[in-house]
Structure 1
Amino acid sequence: MFSKFTSILQHAVEALAPSLPLQEDFVYHWKAITHYYIEASDDKAPVTDTNIPSHLEQMLDILTQEEGERESGETGPCMEYLLHHKILETLYTLGKADCPPGMRQQVLGFYTKLLGRIRQPLLPHINVHRPVQKLIRLCGEVLAAPTENEEIQFLCTVCAKLKQDPYLVNFFLENKAKRGDIKGSDVEGLKEDLSSPDTGQQGHMGVGQEGHVGVGQDDPAAFSSSPAHEGGASALPSNSSSNYNLVSSLLNLTKSPDGRIVVKACEGLMLLASLPEDAAAHTLTESAGLCDLLTGRLTTFYQALPQSMDPLDIDTVESVNWGLDVYTLKEDAAAFTGKRALISFLSWLDYCDQLIKEAQKTAATRLARAVRDHFFVPVMEPQLMQTSEVGILTSTALLNRIIRQVTSEALLQETVYFLLGEEVGPEAPASVAHIPLRHRLIGHCDHLSDEISIMTLRLFEQLLQKPCQHILQNLVLRCLEERSYTERRPPDERDEREHMDNGQPHDAIDLEEDPLFSDLSPDTRHSSPDWFSCSPQQSVEHAKHDGKTEVHKIVNSFLCLVPDEAKSSYQVEGTGYDTYLRDAHRQFRDYCGICQRWNWPSVPKPLETCCLDHPFFEGHFLKVLFDRMGRVLDQPYDVNLQVTSVLSRLALLPHPHLHEYLLDPYINLAPGCRSLFSVIVRVVGDLMLRIHRVPDFTPKLLLVRKRLLGLEPEVLSVDHVTLLEGVIVLEEFCKELAAIAFVKFHASAPASP
């Protein structure tokens, strides 16, 4: 009570006293602090019982006022005094010793406010960045220390300053050398210096003399006062052995039990990761422990998840942004088991993703590779490769959610490399042994468990929506580069070979001879513009007359695939072909925006330049999709929906070879090859044989369609439901492919004059 009264009385006297010049006032407050250490006899009294906090605040106010009265960038006498007499060094010493108790908090607050309030650059001064670096080392030393709040405010202020002037980070990359910082027991020696006759002058506290106890002796190589270092030009080489104490202190504070401290520490790390300096990026990722923090916590949170979770819960749990995770344990427990652990994992994944997204390019690459090497490979891969169906389903659902959430380019690339490998060359039927995970995941698309098949197909659909060229190159495009799926022999040789083909012509011949498709004349195969064309370009006159005819024939060939007795959409309102046009237009526009920067060709590669050495292999991914499509009449409805959804996404891609292979009914297929159209033709042929075996086929088909649309209650059971649902999916898929072909043609066709 007495100390508070003294402080109030002092403020009243200062207010009534005539105003002094700013420098004299500044020196007065500093001397008042130093005199405390000369006169005080009780080192145990807390600093809040003294006038030190008030004097420090007055010093800050004076420095702020002085800067406001001067032109921008001009250093006033008070600031010169603070720098020349190394006041920050002295305060660091007092703060480290925490004398009197609570002094460290006051010093941290003074540093934070000084750096935050003063606009002119202070960190380039050796008498600022040197004590700042030393004070940084004190932060995070003790877990849950009473000074944690002040420590994190100070560190984040330094990070913000470095964000404004990134080159200054070079002052905080410290060579690994023995330091001579003073110990807390050296305060007695400090008190002797305070009582020297020239206190407050040039030799104030002895800090004007290098090597004195009040200075702290750092390796001169770590802190150089040369002009080159002051300008940030003396960055440590990337292979030097250095400490990044600012990162180390922030990493320590991420272990705090106080969530607010953890979030602020993570924010500071993100700021540092975004700095463009190469030496800082190297030290950040190679020797500062940041990679261990990211991957270690990902592993911890992932391993805390239940072994079995409902994929729907994983898919639908609310999006989580790191640092904004507000929850109550009761609500989480009432939702589903493991929700709290799942949100914690997704929240930390979001932080990793955002950090890598903001990081300097080299740092981002290394951090993402660390996530792949220390989390994906050792932790997730065994879960995906296991034989337990429950475990496969849960881990695949989690992987699907991870892929959906990742937005940073570097982390997405490493995730894709982990799943698919880095190969982009031609794929052979037996080329899967060295990429077991890719092979296993593609195999899961045709798993005995329909749930696993659906979840894995969703995983690949999620991948196909990501802006990563390697996904498409690895899964499909590398198999289509040489267009070896097309027949290259002259017509005469082809006819002769077909007669010698043991009576088993390939799918393209079946299509031409099938009376269902007799109206689809092959004469128009060579007349569509740009990448929509599958053949050499014709003359301008020919394209002008026949271009639209070609696209209409292509559209009609898909719309006419399903026989009339197997169609039911025309009897239900709102299920026509035109409903797919709007979606196809929007989705194709989105895909074009993604693929535009990949420099895909606009027309197919000329056949005369294609390599003929290897027979065509459609690739493991397309093979499993075609196999599944070929069984559309015998598979569950949900499986069929997912298979056709993946195929339609592939068909939307604006690559000429993929378009030709999936959407051109008139392509001359090479012997033994199949295309999407030929697969559907086979299914339709099977359907026509089976229609006659189902009594009242058309009424039952219409009833099933209305039930799927929710227009009819499931009162009576209907036999052959799987077949009927498959027919409905087949009809809708053909309409979707027709809409995609139509939209792609008009998007590529030149505007009319």
Structure 2
Amino acid sequence: MISGLQVALKNAIDVIAPPATPLEDFTYHWKQLMNFYVNHLSDRKASIESSGIPRHLDRLLEILLTEEKGEDSPGPCLEYLLQHRLLDLLATLAGAETPPGMRLVCLSFLRKLLGRSKHPLLHHVSVYAPVHRLIALCNGHLASPIEAEEIQFLLTLCFLVCKYPPLTRIVNDASSVHRENSVPKEDTEKIDAQRITYVPARKRNNSNPLFEPLNTQAVMLINPNLFATDSEGKLSHRPERYATDKNTSTQDILDKIPKTTRNTSTRSSGSISLKDVESISESSSPVSQKLPQDPLPVTNQVVSNTNDYGSSSQVPVSMASASYKVENKFQDPTNLRIDSDFASDNNMEYMKEHSKNHTFLEVPPVTENSKCFLVDALISYLNTADNTVRVRACEGIMVLASLDDSAFAHAVSRSDLPTVLSKRLEALYNSIPAHVDPNDVDEVDVTWGLDSPMWTNDNKFPGCRQVAAFFMWLDYCDQLIREAHLEVGEAIAKTITVSFFDKVITPALVDHHVVLITALLTKCLKEISSPLLSTEISHWLVGQHRDPELPNVWTTPILHRLIDNCCTESNDLTLETLKLFEEMIEKRNEHILHCLVLTYLITRGYYDNSAADSAIASWSDEEDEREREKKGTVDLSREQNHSRTLAPTNIHRIINCFLSLVPRQLQTDSDVNNYERYMADWEKQYSTVLTDCALLAWPLEAVTIDDSASSDSRPEADHCSARFYMGPFLTMILDKVSNIPNQRYEINLQLTVVISRLALLPHPYLHEFLLNPLLPLAPGTKSLFACLQRVVKQLVSDVPKTQDYKHILRSTRQRLLENCSQEPVKENILYDSVIITEEFCKELAAIAYVKYHRSM
């Protein structure tokens, strides 16, 4: 019974006062929003929460999004929003920041509208013009309490551009924001605030109809012809429900507005070149635009608006009429179109009459070298104190840099982005304290996102926060180069290498903090994974030239500086530099490996072809001849199981050479064949090495190249083998192997690690030079096995001089290998060297057998 009465009462009310249409509801809330600026003439600092503006904007957004449900074409509310330039006015109010907090709600409204709307709106001049102005307001160089909302707004634009790549130039073109540098920034801001909002000390300018009260009919000021009859081609409307002054009718309001003012067409100051927009739309954009051929001048007052970059632009305050009329009503969302009518004759006459008293807007031409407006805005937040905001800015930059647009990528590569990234990397590097322990650097494991652990706990090492910040930024730069467009990635990688590694790290390698710097460099090389940056770093480390160097001639200063650091009296520096060389080998970078060792070995100048037992130690003459015809360029990835160099028939003799090198009187392990315990680990590592090196196209076999035909033109070729030069790196390595009895255990251990990493590489020349003790060597050529023989000879001479040396050797072995809990024992370099040499020979034997087994 009660429900029936309620239904009947509702039906009766609907007959007497029909419910408002969405458009009526939309215009009502917009009018109520504008009423704040009419009714608060003396209260400029009123709270935005008390104004009701956020509530009305939320309702406007709700109406727009509800209107899209179930419809493929936009409804009248969206048409009204676009046709009457409401977003332009919101952008102006956001720039004036009146009431306080208006910028925040405007950014939120536009972000939600663009992000949630199913129609691509960014191509409309009534949308991208205010978007440009809001982008200019988002400046991370200045502290702002609304940084989070600003960066969310910019991120929304980034993802929209990613969704519609043809619109990239529209959103990122800074030349579309007209600037006028003749007006000082302070004066411009003052004029802007006066004209946008009411100032009690200033009389209202009644010539500006935007702020004419007109009995709260603020929505009428946007387009007085909105409520014209249907016969005039306008939308019908019922204003009675929304009129707050019952004594004033809509017709009275319309009569107060000059007819010429109602029909005047306006243009936004944020529009870009019409030719560019049309060409973009017709060529590749999912949206289609039809714009007027000639720009229409604006007859209303113009506000000088200053953006955050210190330049000014002219922004029309009066929105007295619409600049474009939506005719097709977006029947196809993928083929959006906006048509514009030219000004009528009356309007043109009105413009001519007032041209002397009014400023006209002109669309600046789009230049080829226009700045990336959106990218520049995101760059300004890279140094913010808010980590979340900074990460969001990094995400936006990565999205834009990865766009598959050659023109835009070219613009980004020439922007400030590469320099800013490098400068921040340098600043974070300079903030690392000098007292950081180099041994703690490798423990830092971070990524650039928000998923990295906090390195500010008390149990972390001193300076860990600065070290973590540096490597987080390096990780971001590395990932950005990996994901970015090729041209952008190359520009960033080149800039970081030149501006940071070359200009900052290079001179620091001779600094008194060189140990820490070397540890940081090792960690950098370990963390870098992008091919472009790895290539640039490899060229910085070993130079770009691939030809072998001459003895005592420096052509790669970084490499020679590192080699010199290995030969200093500082054990810590030697140890850290050897770790850096280990990481260089572990990168499996073909250029680094070639310039470091391979370029000196590929001539096989170390091999003595005149030796009588060459057929026994290496191959038979028939095999050499057969492989010489193949030119020794067999792909390892296809036929690696048939390499006779890696799997010689005399493998047992080779293994016995390594295992019997240390005499029994110095051996501390009773089981001579105990090398097998290393094989499982080396087998696993060798599988990884084969995978990494499969595409390097290394030769399959070590073959001596017959260059006798060229000996006439090069007389020195006859004596090439006698002057074999293994390069500065191998020379340093073998010199340090010979000095094992005089070096600390940590250095000897790291030295064996570096050699083991080299020996694992499946390169035939490197393999036989390091792992074939039976190889006939050219006169005067040093080898790894010969250096180990010299070490053992010295140990045999010095160790037995001590009484009870066997007991000391067993104790040393337990201390170094078995980690037995006992009282601290004074380090003895001589006895440590015995253990190191013994175990190193077992490792070499295990590596030789693993490579033999995998190459059969």
TM-score computed with the length of structure 1 as normaliser: 0.81
Q: Quote how far apart the aligned CAs of 1:363 are.
A: 1.1
1:438-457 → structure 2 map (5 Å cutoff): 438-457=559-578
2:636 aligned with 1:635: no
1:556 aligns with 2:656: yes
Q: CA deviation at 1:581?
A: 0.6
Change (3 A) 1:26 1:602: farther
Question: 1:676 deviation in Å?
Answer: 1.9
Contact 2:48 2:102 in 1 (8 A): yes
**Counterpart check, 1:267 vs 2:395:** yes
| Cα distance in 2 for residues equivalent to 1:534 and 1:552 | 24
- Residue 172 of structure 2 contacts residue 375 of structure 2 at CA under 8 Å; is this kept in 1? no
Partner in structure 1 of residue 303 of structure 2: none
Letter in 2 for 1:311: P
Alpha-carbon distance in 2 for matches of 1:529, 1:407: 44
- 1:416 aligns with 538
Query: Any residues of structure 2 matched to 1:502-541 within 5 Å, and which?
Result: 523=616, 525-526=618-619
In the alignment, structure 1 residue 583 sits paired with structure 2 residue 681 = yes
User: Aligned pair 1:604/2:712, yes or no?
Assistant: no
Equivalent position of 1:376 in the other structure: 501
Query: Do the aligned partners of residues 715 and 253 (structure 1) sit closer, same or farther apart at CA in structure 2, a change above 3 Å counting?
Result: closer
Query: 1:254 and 2:375 equivalent?
Result: no
Deviations 1:137-176 (A, max 9, x none): 1111772223322211100111122233333222134264
What amino acid is the match of 1:525? S
Shift of 1:179: 0.8
Give, as a single letter, the amino acid of the residue that structure 2 aligns with 1:584. Answer: W
Q: Amino acid of the residue matched to residue 54 of structure 2?
A: P
Cα 1:605–1:114, aligned 2, differ >3 Å: closer, same or farther?
farther
- Partners of 1:269 and 1:723 in 2: CA distance: 57
| 2:796 aligned with 1:668 | no
The Cα of 1:530 is off from its aligned counterpart by 11
Which string of whole-angstrom CA distances, capped at 9 and with x for unpartnered residues, describes residues 461-500 of structure 1? 11211142222112111111222211234x5xxx7xxxxx
Q: CA deviation at 1:455?
A: 0.9
Report the Cα distance in structure 1 between the residues aligned to 2:604 and 2:519, rounded to whole angstroms: 35
CA RMSD, 1 decimal? 3.9
Give the CA deviation at 1:95. Answer: 2.1
Q: Give me the whole-angstrom Cα distance separating, in 2, the residues matched to 1:301 and 1:717.
A: 42
Q: Distance in 1 between matches of 2:109 and 2:271?
A: 23
Q: Please state whether the residue corresponding to 1:577 is helix, strand or coil.
A: helix
Q: 1:282 to 1:711 in 2, by over 3 A?
A: closer
2:812 aligned partner: 704
Distance 2:146 2:820 in 1: 68
Q: 8 Å contact 1:632–1:726 — kept in the other structure?
A: yes
User: For 1:709, what is the secondary structure of its paired residue?
Assistant: helix
- Residue 357 of structure 1: aligned partner: 482
How far the C-alpha of 1:529 sits from its partner, in A, is: 14
- Alignment of 1:344 onto 2:370: no
Superimposed CA distance per residue, residues 587-617 of structure 1 (whole angstroms, 9 cap, x where no aligned partner): 1111112112222222235522698745421
Which residue pairs with 1:735 in the alignment?
842
Of structures 1 and 2, the larger Rg is shown by 2
Aligned-partner residue type, residue 472 of structure 2: S
Name the counterpart of 2:134. 135
Unmatched runs of 5 consecutive residues or more in structure 2: 1-12, 181-187, 198-207, 213-217, 228-233, 236-253, 289-364, 633-638, 712-716
- Does residue 284 (structure 1) correspond to residue 284 (structure 2)? The answer is no
Letter in 2 for 1:438: L
Amino acid paired to 1:377: D
Q: Displacement of 1:312 after TM fit?
A: 1.7
Identity of aligned residues (%): 35
Code of the residue aligned with 1:744 in structure 2: it is: K
SS in 1 for 2:509: helix
Q: 1:748 to 1:43 in 2, by over 3 A?
A: farther
CA change 1:420–1:646 in 2 (3 A) is: same
Q: Distance between the aligned counterparts of 1:665 and 1:253, measured in 2? A: 61
Partners of 2:623 and 2:57 lie apart in 1 by 74
Task: Give the Cα separation in 1 of the matches to 2:17 and 2:780.
Answer: 103
Q: Distance in 2 between matches of 1:68 and 1:408?
A: 44
Mapped partners of 1:405, 1:18: distance in 2: 68
- Counterpart CA distance in 2 for 1:208 and 1:135 is 28
Q: What is the distance in 2 between the residues matched to 1:167 and 1:608?
A: 59
Q: Match of 1:130, as an amino acid? A: A
Taking the TM superposition and a 5 Å limit, the aligned residue runs for 1:142-157 are: 143-157=142-156
CA separation in 1, counterparts of 2:834 and 2:668? 9
In the alignment, is the contact (CA less than 8 A) between 1:171 and 1:232 conserved in 2?
no
User: 2:756 touches 2:844 (CA, 8 Å); kept in 1?
Assistant: yes
1:687–1:255 distance in 2 versus 1, CA, 3 Å: closer
Deviation at 1:241, TM superposition (A): 1.5
Distance 2:20 2:855 in 1: 79
Structure 2: how far apart are the matches of 1:535 and 1:524? 18
Change (3 A) 1:316 1:150: closer
User: Is 1:305 aligned with 2:427?
Assistant: no
Higher mean displacement: 672-681 or 222-231: 222-231
CA distance in 2, matches of 1:596, 1:549: 24
Aligned positions of 1:378-397 closer than 5 A: 378-386=503-511, 388=512, 391-397=513-519
One of 726, 751, 761 as aligned partner of 1:618: 726
2 CA distance for matches of 1:222 and 1:145?
A: 37
Q: Supply the distance in 2 between the matched residues of 1:530 and 1:128 (Cα, whole angstroms).
A: 76
Residue 224 (structure 2) aligns with: 198
TM-superposed deviation, 1:303? 1.8
Q: Supply the AA of the counterpart residue of 1:733.
A: F
Q: Distance in 1 between matches of 2:570 and 2:811?
A: 28
Look up the equivalent residue of 2:374 and give its one-letter code.
L
Structure 2 residue 761 is matched with structure 1 residue 653: yes
In 2: Cα distance, 1:112 partner to 1:530 partner: 73
Deviation at residue 683 of structure 1 after TM alignment: 2.8
Cα deviation code 1:373-406 (max 9, x no counterpart): 22222222222123x3xx2212212222222222
Of the candidates 420, 435, 439, which is equivalent to residue 556 of structure 2?
435
**1:509 maps to which residue?**
none
Cα deviation, residue 696, structure 1: 4.1
Change (3 A) 1:714 1:31: closer
**1:484 maps to what in 2?**
605
1:117 and 1:527 map into 2 onto residues whose CA distance is 76
C-alpha change, 1:437 and 1:109, in structure 2 (3 Å) is same
Check the 8 A contact 1:457/1:642 in 2, yes or no: yes
Tell me if the contact between 2:176 and 2:366 (Cα under 8 Å) persists in the aligned partners: no
Match of 1:508 in 2: none
Name which of 224, 241, 247 aligns with 2:277.
224
Native 8 Å contact 1:416 1:471 kept in 2: yes
Q: Find the counterpart in structure 2 of residue 566 from structure 1.
A: 666
Q: Structure 1: how far apart are the matches of 2:96 and 2:225? A: 21
Distance 1:530 1:645 in 2: 34
Q: How many Å apart are 1:51 and its aligned residue?
A: 3.3
Q: Specify the SS of the correspondent of 1:730.
A: helix
Q: Which residue of 1 aligns with 2:62?
A: 61
Q: Is the 8 A contact 1:238 1:283 kept in 2?
A: no
Q: Deviations over 1:677-700 (max 9, x none)?
A: 232233334444445545444343
Q: 1:437 is paired with a residue of what secondary structure?
A: helix
Q: Which moved more, 1:30-39 or 1:614-623?
A: 30-39
Matched, 1:52 2:53: yes
Deviation at 1:369, TM superposition (A): 1.6
- Tell me the secondary structure at the aligned position of residue 122 of structure 1: coil
- What letter matches 1:275 in structure 2? L
CA gap of 1:305–1:680, structure 2 versus 1, over 3 A, is same
Q: CA deviation at 1:641?
A: 0.6
CA distance in 2, matches of 1:728, 1:91: 79
Instruction: Name the count of aligned residue pairs.
Output: 688
